[in-house]
Amino acid sequence: VSAADAEVLGCNAASDGYHVVVPAGAHEFSAQLADAGYEPIPVDLSELRKAGGAAKCCTLELRADAAKPPCGRSEATVRTQRSHGRRSEGAIRTDGAAREPYTRERVMTRLDARPTTPAEMESQHAAHNYKPLPVTIAEGSGAWVTDESGTRYLDLLAAYSALNFGHGHPRLLRVAREQLDRLTLTSRAFSNDQTGPFCRELAELCEKDAVLPMNTGAEAVETAIKAARRWGYQVKGVPVDGAEIIVMSDNFHGRTTTIVGFSSDPDSRAGFGPFTPGFRMVPFGDVDALRSAITERTVGVLLEPIQGEAGVIVPPAGYLAAVRALCDDFNVLMIADEIQSGLGRTGTTFACDLEGVRPDLYVLGKALGGGIMPLSAVVGDWDVLGVFTPGSHGSTFGGNPLACAVGREVLAMLRTGEYQDRAARLGARLEPQLRALVGKGLADVRIRGLWAGLDLAPGMASGRAVCEGLLAERILAKDAHESTIRIAPPLVIDEHDLDWAVDRLAHVLAR
Ligand code: PLP
């Protein structure tokens, strides 16, 4: 069976030899059974599954006479099945009546007709490119969310830092509602009264000249790549189509084909080639390797100042400053992807600030849209962003007035410094508590501001299993690459809630 069907314990089915009682979420398996001539009976077993059970756990076997064919099948049926291997025609019933063949279409129609939970609908009808924990969130406020049944959970993921300001921050909601009533989208064929002010205010926050607004993080990374290449040809004088960009091992910059093409993660890449040329990879944190990789064709060094998806990997002290110096020496653009690390998370506005470094291009996203709208941007000076001319780049929704209005409020909140300070203060409170767990289930802790990567000790349960344990304790967290738990709560989290979460984590690790 497929991995998704195995996940819902699809194999743990029960059959009388013709009917197969199977968990409702195991659609592909149900269809396979129908193709093979069996009659799947999908049953909603989601409640039972919480205890680790499926259809087979609900059965009580009757073994009156092991020599008899299983109930519901006549000797004739058994013979038919044995001789044909599978039944593609109407099944033979013990009562002798032929029945309509059970086709894949009939099963899917039947599955569609069944009342299912939202999570089961997601499993049935959303592509399986995610593997969500078994919780269905219906509401959120601050650092807390509530599921369909009213159970509250503390959110320690904050949508991968997109919710730095928490769920439904009143300032952001107010602005969003007001803007919804006024104007949502113009496209940039026309100006609107939000895009310009947003760009100016973001450029000021970054102490740069200009902004190119987009929507998702991956789009902003693509934009930075295009900017660096054009800059390479027009300003640096690299021969046409010869530009190279240096990237880091274990990077994560998004999911477009160009971006996954320079990923070192096989799960991200496999099956999606051929990939865009023009990228070179060096080990993250290795200054000498970076220096050796730079050539006269190098136009940019693209890096996350702290690698989030890789498990909150912090480079050696002085690394970012050394990258800056190399980029200056060799006339190469330093491109900092601060999509996850930026906007307050590390206790500073940008993670680069931790080393007093200013990149040539900031790539921003996630929290920029306040957890309400997708809003991303590339921010730089005119000598770089000036390479874009009308028609050379764009996006229908990029810089839309709704996202920009929310983004302007995000910038106003960041200008106070309150959220950066809070991240630093709560991080300082969290750090000793987490370090106390090293040797008690944790092997290592990396933390900057309110952002931590916790490596599980060898022999511990998988990261997924620990997150499931935390879920049972009403805490939402996400593993990174199986053996690391990532902690990135909304910056508005209450300090006592944070203490409680660490206490619960200690409890889960001690099991
Ligand atoms: N860059 C970094 C550092 C990220 O963490 C992410 C997302 O996790 C992205 C880029 C891609 O952002 P998006 O998912 O909005 O495309």
SS (H, E, C) 145-158: EEECCCCEEEECCH
Distance from Cα 218 to the centre of ligand 1, integer Å: 6
Q: Which of 265, 306, 313, 339 to mutate to test the pocket of ligand 1 (most atoms within 8 A of CB)?
A: 339
Nearest protein CA to atom 7 of ligand 1, as residue: 254
Over the stretch 437-493, which tens digit does the pLDDT of each residue have? 999 999 999 999 999 999 999 999 999 999 999 999 999 999 998 899 999 999 999
How far apart CA 308 and CA 291 sit, in angstroms, is: 24
- % of the chain residues with pLDDT over 70: 89
Q: Interior CA angle at 288 toward 284 and 294, to 5°?
A: 85
pLDDT tens-digit readout, 376-400: 999 999 999 999 999 999 999 999 9
pLDDT given for residue 111 in this prediction: 59
Lowest-pLDDT range of 6-10, 75-79, 406-410: 75-79
Question: Which residue's CA is the nearest one to ligand 1's atom 10?
Answer: 253
In whole angstroms, give the CA distance from residue 188 to residue 179.
Answer: 17
Token digits of residue 14: 């029960």
The residues assigned a catalytic role are 252, 337, 366
Give 76's pLDDT tier (boundaries 50, 70, 90). Answer: very low
* 435 CA distance to ligand 1 middle (Å): 28
Using left for φ > 0, alpha for ψ between -120 and 50, and beta otherwise, residue 241 falls in: left
Looking at residue 115, what is its pLDDT?
A: 55
How far, in Å, is the centroid of ligand 1 from the Cα of 159? Answer: 11
Question: Which residue among 129, 247, 252 is best mutated to probe the pocket of ligand 1, counting the most ligand atoms within 8 A of its Cβ?
Answer: 252
For the residues 344-369, what does the mean pLDDT come to? 98
Q: Classify strands 484-487 and 475-476 as parallel, antiparallel or unpaired.
A: unpaired
Give the ranges where 165-312 is alpha helix by DSSP (H).
170-182, 195-206, 217-231, 257-261, 266-269, 287-293
Return the pLDDT at 327. 98
CA pseudo-torsion sign 131, 135, 138, 141: negative
Select the highest-mean-pLDDT range: 61-65, 102-106, 369-373.
369-373
**What atom of ligand 1 comes closest to residue 376's alpha carbon?**
15
User: Looking at per-residue confidence, does 2 or 393 come out higher?
Assistant: 393
> Residue 192 in contact with residue 186, Cβ under 8 Å?
yes
Ligand 1, pocket residues at CB < 6 Å: 160, 216-218, 221, 252-254, 304, 308-309, 337, 339-340, 365
Among the residue ranges 67-71, 165-169, 318-322, 502-506, the one predicted with the least confidence is 67-71
- How, if at all, do strands 478-480 and 484-487 pair? antiparallel
- For the cut 80, the answer to whether the pLDDT of residue 69 exceeds it is no
- Residue located nearest, by CA, to atom 15 of ligand 1: 217
Measured CA to CA, the distance from residue 336 to residue 143 in angstroms comes to: 28
Q: Are 312 and 306 in contact (CB under 8 A)?
A: yes
Average pLDDT over the chain reads 91
Per-residue pLDDT at 44: 81
Residue 43 CB burial class (10 angstroms; 0-12, 13-18, ≥19) = middle
How many angstroms separate the CA atoms of 36 and 160, rounded? 43
Q: Which atom of ligand 1 is nearest to the CA of 337?
A: 3
Residue 407 has pLDDT above 80, yes or no: yes
pLDDT of residue 65: 59
Task: Return d(Cα 270, Cα 248) in angstroms, integer.
Answer: 18
User: Confidence class of residue 417 from pLDDT cuts 50, 70 and 90?
Assistant: very high
pLDDT digits (tens, 9 = 90+) for 157-195: 999 999 999 999 999 999 999 999 999 999 999 999 999
* Distance from Cα 338 to the centre of ligand 1, integer Å: 9
- pLDDT value for 78: 38
Atom number, ligand 1, closest to the C-alpha of residue 374: 15
Residues 383 and 407 sit within 8 Å (Cβ to Cβ)? no
Distance 342 CA to ligand 1 centre (A): 12
Distance 255 CA to ligand 1 centre (A): 8
